[in-house]
């Protein structure tokens, strides 16, 4: 019983209550894993047969760590505990019982690529439009159906589902679902969702099997219960129905996976299934400082649907939470990188003490660029580097081929993407013919009739002419206009736009973010050459992969907030706190969705141990259009006493200053007007710099700026009138930071700026 001495009273009570239904509400950083570990170890110490204990987790890593800890406390018998993810445990059961539902015991488990391949074949065989019936969309629809235990028969017979499908022009989804299920069955295969779906089917149709496992698993524990979906909920409920020795552990405030089917009602309504439930609350946060915990509490208190708890910390108060305001997403990346650089240098911190969290993957671009400029090593957690994502590499390959048509790797990547009827056989023939004739594949493409039949040659020739047209336009257009033209006329932009799945939308946003970066590059005043080819040279220096695969490498971590759940860092930067970004625009139509976004913010804040920084930008580019952004409503929900504003607010009120009109030295007043709760923001100003170009004063002529001083009023041919804020550097490379009334702050190299002193 020595292991109990290291637990606080609430943790001890949760460990010792081994009989009957138990719910442990575990606040962030409250020692949840320790409680689960010791509770299972305590069961074994009491004499419970380890074969009769089932522990369900959401990650294999969590299961491995728990098993090691339990064995350390309870001894080698703990290795016999049934412990693992939902999918791994039920796959093990299905291996034993599969014949009862018509599957071989050695059934194959299809991964995502396998499933997509099957769906591609079905859609092709049914002669359906593969754009309308995009495989990612179809797969997500089938997955959602299985997780809600909707069979293909029920799918086809449900009038609401059918009405929705036919109204969107996808009336054959039900038939695709049927064919997919039959194809998998004939192949003796289950996909990832089937491991839960088929387990439910097995327990529902074979009472002997249900009874067998009800009696085998006398004690059940479920970690991260707030993340369970309907299918998982039903399996657990059936298995626990006889002995009722079920313990669920979770935190409703960290339920952030509704998009994957998780249902927060499972934890909110757990007591309805078990009236004799005993509830224990783990409220002491051992991870974060008092200020960070207080901020998290003030955020989550705005949610109506929650299990009340009073999370507290006995650690020092710590630094106040810094809030940084940037004029653009690029400046936000620069400010974040500089803050990390300074603390690394001044406080002796390691790079892996820092994490940057964002709402969407597309936001990583400006963060990566800011870090690279200061030579700060970083890694993308749970995803690829921005410039290594497929859609980015695809478009960049078009750029590469435009400037160097002999680039064979770029050619192979894009010659049939988007699909244009040039298959692998044709590509192979081009490459082989080029080798035999000692010419480049590009030369074969522009002379296709010498190597291919007439029909194929015509298709290949059209591709060649398209690339040649790109070569012409890049000589006359700016970097941004060239890039946008290529993205549009290659068909890539259209292909991604038509993919309405979650993955498709993310890819489309990433392309938009790349174009944003090119737009800003093309407007830089400190560069004499700003063509797309120069941008490509810069990109080539940004895309070297980090060859160090060591997970403990000393690098700053970049990740989405969803990917950060379960992790912790001494310092955390949460970036992009703006309306329509965080909370996302899609979440503003319902209170339920908005509350999940707020829980996501809560998760982000509680990743920080000692220091938390939050930032937002007052403008972002979207496809070449400057969008004025307003601070997130979540900032307004934080108690101002815990904040340190990294900017000067005029007439800051006693409460929160974020939406205070009088502080608008940096933007128009209506930019910061507070949105109504749970409704889409409608007052964001969209301003195209090109559409609203400044008209220079008649007779405009640049002044001699050798005597320019801070505070002077100036005029720029494009940006209009502004005021000089700072002057940095030495002649001839003095940089001026100027606030322009129309477009905000810009940093210009004086020798190229062409300013008129007013």
- Distance in angstroms (rounded) separating the CA atoms of residues 397 and 415: 10
Cis peptide before 474 (omega within 30 of 0): no
Q: Three-state DSSP class for 416?
A: coil
The distance of Cα 612 from the centroid of its chain, to the nearest Å, equals 20
Asked if 659 and 631 touch (Cβ cutoff 8 Å), the reply is yes
Terminal alpha carbon distance of the chain: 81
Full-model pTM? 0.68
Domains of the chain from N-terminus onward: 9-99+197-282 (3.40.50.300), 108-187 (1.10.10), 312-385+546-645 (3.40.50.300), 388-542 (1.10.486.10), 692-757 (2.40.10)
Active-site annotation holder among 11, 32, 523, 715:
32
Confidence band (pLDDT; 50, 70, 90) for 383? low
Q: What is the predicted pLDDT for the residue at 746?
A: 80
Active-site annotation holder among 141, 281, 565, 607:
607
Active-site annotation holder among 57, 172, 254, 571:
254
DSSP characters over 483-519: HHHHHHHTSHHHHHHT--SHHHHHHHHHHHHHHHHHH
726 tagged catalytic: no
Cis peptide before 426 (omega within 30 of 0): no
713 tagged catalytic: no
Predicted confidence (pLDDT) at residue 693 exceeds the cutoff of 70? no
337 annotated as a binding-site residue: no
Sheet holding 744-749, edge to edge: 744-749, 735-740, 720-728, 713-716, 756-757
And the tokens for 30? 């409250």
Question: 3-state secondary structure string, 74-109?
Answer: HCHHHHHCEEEEHHHHHHHHHHHHHHHHCCCCCCEE
Q: Which of 62-66, 442-446, 677-681 has the lowest mean pLDDT?
A: 677-681
151 annotated as a binding-site residue: no
Query: pLDDT digits over 79-133, tens only?
Result: 788 888 888 888 889 888 989 999 887 777 777 767 887 898 889 889 999 888 9
Angle (deg, nearest 10), helices 532-542 and 502-522: 120
Residues 525/530/536/537 CA torsion (nearest 10 deg): -80
Q: What is the mean pLDDT of residues 586-608?
A: 91
- Distance in angstroms (rounded) separating the CA atoms of residues 356 and 342: 15
Q: Which helix (H) or strand (E) holds 479?
A: helix 479-489
Q: What is the mean pLDDT of residues 23-30?
A: 91
Asked if 574 and 612 touch (Cβ cutoff 8 Å), the reply is yes
223 tagged catalytic: yes
495 tagged catalytic: no
**What residues contact residue 516 under an 8 Å CB cut-off, 6+ apart?**
329, 365, 620, 621, 622, 623, 624
Predicted confidence (pLDDT) at residue 739 exceeds the cutoff of 50? yes
Active-site annotation holder among 165, 191, 224, 391:
224
435 annotated as a binding-site residue: no
Cis peptide before 732 (omega within 30 of 0): yes
373 tagged catalytic: no
Q: What is the predicted pLDDT for the residue at 552?
A: 63
- Distance in angstroms (rounded) separating the CA atoms of residues 168 and 485: 30
Active-site annotation holder among 13, 33, 625, 687:
33
Predicted confidence (pLDDT) at residue 686 exceeds the cutoff of 70? no
Residue with structure tokens 């293909």?
152
Q: Which of 291-295, 297-301, 681-685, 699-703 has the lowest mean pLDDT?
A: 681-685
Q: What is the predicted pLDDT for the residue at 701?
A: 86
Asked if 200 and 234 touch (Cβ cutoff 8 Å), the reply is yes
Q: Three-state DSSP class for 279?
A: strand
Q: What is the predicted pLDDT for the residue at 83?
A: 87
Angle (deg, nearest 10), helices 454-473 and 390-403: 80
Q: What is the mean pLDDT of residues 531-543?
A: 67
Active-site annotation holder among 165, 191, 194, 223:
223
Query: pLDDT digits over 609-643, tens only?
Result: 999 999 999 888 776 677 888 899 999 889 888 98
Q: What is the predicted pLDDT for the residue at 113?
A: 67
29 annotated as a binding-site residue: yes
Q: What is the predicted pLDDT for the residue at 623?
A: 66
33 annotated as a binding-site residue: yes
370 annotated as a binding-site residue: no
Q: What is the predicted pLDDT for the residue at 23?
A: 93
Asked if 256 and 603 touch (Cβ cutoff 8 Å), the reply is yes
DSSP characters over 164-186: HHHHTT-TTHHHHHHHHHHHHHH
The distance of Cα 648 from the centroid of its chain, to the nearest Å, equals 32
322 tagged catalytic: no
Q: Three-state DSSP class for 432?
A: helix
Query: pLDDT digits over 290-302, tens only?
Result: 999 999 999 999 9
pLDDT above 70 covers a percentage of the chain that reads 90
Give residue 350's region: left, alpha or beta (phi > 0; psi -120 to 50): beta
Query: pLDDT digits over 481-519, tens only?
Result: 999 999 999 999 999 988 878 788 888 889 988 998 888
Q: Which of 6-20, 329-343, 394-408 has the lowest mean pLDDT?
A: 394-408
And the tokens for 216? 């085998």
Q: Three-state DSSP class for 301?
A: coil
Residue with structure tokens 């606080």?
8
């Amino acid at each position: 019983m020595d292991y109990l001495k290291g637990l606080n009273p609430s943790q001890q009570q949760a460990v010792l209550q081994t009989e009957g239904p138990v719910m442990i509400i575990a606040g962030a950083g409250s020692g949840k894993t320790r409680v689960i570990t010791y509770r299972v170890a305590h069961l074994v110490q009491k004499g419970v047969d380890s074969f009769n204990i089932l522990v369900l987790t959401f990650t294999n890593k969590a299961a491995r760590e728990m098993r090691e800890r339990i064995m350390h406390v309870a001894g080698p018998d703990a290795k016999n505990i049934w412990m693992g993810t939902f999918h791994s445990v039920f796959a093990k059961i299905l291996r034993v019982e599969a014949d009862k539902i018509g599957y071989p015991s050695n059934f194959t488990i299809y991964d995502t690529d396998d499933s997509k391949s099957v769906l591609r074949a079905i859609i092709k065989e049914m002669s359906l439009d593969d754009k309308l019936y995009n495989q990612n969309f179809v797969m997500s629809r089938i997955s959602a159906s299985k997780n809600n235990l909707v069979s293909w028969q029920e799918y086809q017979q449900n009038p609401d589902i059918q009405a929705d499908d036919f109204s969107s022009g996808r009336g054959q989804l039900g038939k695709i679902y049927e064919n997919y299920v039959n194809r998998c069955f004939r192949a003796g295969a289950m996909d990832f969702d089937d491991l839960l779906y088929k387990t439910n089917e097995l327990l529902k149709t074979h009472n002997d099997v249900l009874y067998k496992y009800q009696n085998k698993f006398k004690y059940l524990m479920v970690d991260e219960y707030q993340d369970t979906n309907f299918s998982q909920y039903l399996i657990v409920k059936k298995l626990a129905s006889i002995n009722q020795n079920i313990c669920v552990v979770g935190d409703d405030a960290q339920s952030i996976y509704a998009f994957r089917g998780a249902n927060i009602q499972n934890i909110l309504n757990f007591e309805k299934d078990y009236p004799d439930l005993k509830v224990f609350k783990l409220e002491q946060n051992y991870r974060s400082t008092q200020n960070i915990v207080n901020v998290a509490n003030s955020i989550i208190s705005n949610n109506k649907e929650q299990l009340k708890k009073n999370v507290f910390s006995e650690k020092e108060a710590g630094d106040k939470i810094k809030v940084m305001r940037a004029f653009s997403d690029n400046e936000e990346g620069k400010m974040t990188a500089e803050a990390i650089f300074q603390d690394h240098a001044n406080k002796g911190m390691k790079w892996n003490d820092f994490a940057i969290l964002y709402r969407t993957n597309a936001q990583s671009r400006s963060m990566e660029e800011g870090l690279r400029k200061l030579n700060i090593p970083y890694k993308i957690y749970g995803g690829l580097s921005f410039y290594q994502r497929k859609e980015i590499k695809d478009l960049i390959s078009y750029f590469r081929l435009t400037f160097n048509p002999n680039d064979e790797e770029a050619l192979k990547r894009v010659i049939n993407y988007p699909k244009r009827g040039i298959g692998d056989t044709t590509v192979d023939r081009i490459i082989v013919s080029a080798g035999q004739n000692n010419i480049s594949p590009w030369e074969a493409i522009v002379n296709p009739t010498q190597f291919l039949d007439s029909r194929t040659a015509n298709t290949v020739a059209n591709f060649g002419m398209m690339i040649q047209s790109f070569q012409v336009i890049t000589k006359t257009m700016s970097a941004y206009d060239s890039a946008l033209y290529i993205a549009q006329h290659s068909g890539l932009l259209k292909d991604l736009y038509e993919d309405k799945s979650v993955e498709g939308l993310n890819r489309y946003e990433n392309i938009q973010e790349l174009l944003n970066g090119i737009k800003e590059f093309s407007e830089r005043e400190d560069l004499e050459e700003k063509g797309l080819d120069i941008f490509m040279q810069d990109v080539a220096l940004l895309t070297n992969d980090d060859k160090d695969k060591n997970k403990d490498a000393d690098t700053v971590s970049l990740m989405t907030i969803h990917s950060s759940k379960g992790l912790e860092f001494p310092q955390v930067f949460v970036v992009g706190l703006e309306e329509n970004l965080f909370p996302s625009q899609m979440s503003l139509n319902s209170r339920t969705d908005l509350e999940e976004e707020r829980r996501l913010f809560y998760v982000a804040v509680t990743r920080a141990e000692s220091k938390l920084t939050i930032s937002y930008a007052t403008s972002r580019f979207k496809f070449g259009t400057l969008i004025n952004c307003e601070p997130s409503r979540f900032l307004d929900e934080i108690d101002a006493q815990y904040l340190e504003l990294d900017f000067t607010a005029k007439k800051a009120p006693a409460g929160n200053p974020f939406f205070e009109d009088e502080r608008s030295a940096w933007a128009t007043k209506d930019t910061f007007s507070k949105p109504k709760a749970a409704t889409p923001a409608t007052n964001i100003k969209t301003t195209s710099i090109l559409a609203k170009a400044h008209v220079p004063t008649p007779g405009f002529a640049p002044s001699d700026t050798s005597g320019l001083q801070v505070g002077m009023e100036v005029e720029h041919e494009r940006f209009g009138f502004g005021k000089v804020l700072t002057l940095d550097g030495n002649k001839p490379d003095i940089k001026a930071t100027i606030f322009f009334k129309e477009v905000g702050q810009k940093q210009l190299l004086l020798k190229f700026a062409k300013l008129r002193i007013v």
